[in-house]
Amino acid sequence: MASTVSAAACVPCSHVSANAVVVTWDGPDDPQDPFNWPSWKKWWTVGLGLLASFVCSMNGSILAVAHEAISHEFGISDDAFPHSYWITTSWGVGAALFPLVIFPAMEDWGVRPVVLGTYFCFVCLLIPIGFARSFATLVTARFFSGGCVPLMSDAVASIASNVFFGDKARSTPVALYVLIYLGATSLGPVLGAAILQHLPWRWIGRIELIVTSALFPVFCAGLPESRGSAILRAKAQKMRREGKKAYTAEEADPTPLQQRIIRSLTRPLYMLFTEWVVFVAAIWAAFSLGTIYLFTHSVGQVYGALYGWSPVQAGYVQSAIVVGEVLGTVFSLSTNHWYEASAARNTEVPGTPIPEARLYTAILGGIANYLIDAYSKYAASALAAVGLAENLSIAFLPLASSALYTDLGFQWASTLLAFASLALVATPFIVIKWGKEIRARSPFTKEAVIERQRDTGVVIDA
């Protein structure tokens, strides 16, 4: 549907002429609107995103089992400091920094070009991992490949929100997104061990390169654009080529790209240190992901000393974590009705589920869905803040693993991590009890409540 824009409506958008048209959907049932796509197309799009996320996410930990072979070839010593872990530290730093800068591009260019462009760069960056002639080259390549992976993974969450409307519809794809990201991370050492058992360490990178390259044509041919604003922008561009003065609402926004990038950079950092819920979620996620990588780095040390296992044998231990992640996802999905049933007692926005109801299952694990529900419009910034903390923890926490297990001993080192985990178990109980009051003091969640009220047609005075 194209509507004529009045001069008054364009006061803040003076670069748009008064007789221009704003390109919108052709009614609520427009088949081009991703919310109206058939179910098979929605799941096809999400499935391709999950596949891309899986093959890329295992990259973070897949080289962990080869640290001894890599150190031996490049003459790296871990006697005074775990220098061999720099290949993962650089990966984590890249993963923490790149999304803050590049995510705004997804808003301007759409999901498809960002995913395909990032995936192509990732494939290219796998080449030096398999053929590097110096440790510095390997560390540098890992920094940039680490920057690509969260862009690929978080694009899946974006795709899910683009094609599935409402919290209930998004529950399953978001749960699968979390499972794929965590499962691929935990499977990395298992697959790395399987390759290292039969081939030199460089073949880990080379096999990864072969697999990701083979899948690239599939994504190019099969991944449709799912961001509604990008679809409308393409429609407006086509109309302009035909000589019509047509713009989307986003194109009429005169805010320069650099200002949007600055806003994208600052909002997650602001939310991290001013939003109590985001801060707690970030600490929780950072500890969880950091512990997975710490365990990946220390498992060879522990099982090698206790049982004489090789790095390859120790790598297979990671498969136990994957089993737990799958069981946790199944439990989370099977209890979605707890969340949906909370709509009957919601006094903020009657008829819609209470965000804190997501945390019933978080008592046993998981918290990502709660941030999406609680922050709605600003969920991407909230998740970016959590991702920043996660990846910095991945980068630096495992650097202490060798000293931790050496100085405290194997039993006490693991016990210390268990006590820290036990302390974090209390957080979902706190948020469940006082979450509504906490959200009431947040300008971001207040706006989310207003949006929910507008979507449902219910307005309640504060």
Least confident of 82-86, 194-198, 444-448: 444-448
> What is the per-residue pLDDT for 36?
93
For the ranges 25-34, 108-117, 156-165, 295-304, the maximum mean pLDDT occurs at: 25-34
Segment 302-313 shows an average pLDDT of: 79
Tokens encoding 313: 């044998």
Q: End-to-end CA distance of the chain, in Å?
A: 36
| Residues sharing a CB contact under 8 Å with residue 177, sequence separation 6 or more, in sequence order | 50, 53, 153, 156, 157, 160, 368
| Nearest-angstrom CA–CA distance, 383 and 380 | 5
Contact 172, 333 (CB under 8 A): yes
Is the domain 2-456 a CATH 1.20.1250.20 member? yes
> What is the per-residue pLDDT for 14?
45
> What is the per-residue pLDDT for 411?
83
Return the domain boundaries, the chain. Answer: 2-456
Identify any residues that bridge with 22 across adjacent strands, giving them in sequence order.
3, 247
Least confident of 67-81, 92-106, 266-280: 92-106
Segment 298-310 shows an average pLDDT of: 79
Evaluate if residue 182 carries a pLDDT over 50: yes
For the ranges 131-135, 175-179, 406-410, the maximum mean pLDDT occurs at: 131-135
CA 186 to chain centroid, in Å, comes to 15
| Nearest-angstrom CA–CA distance, 383 and 387 | 6
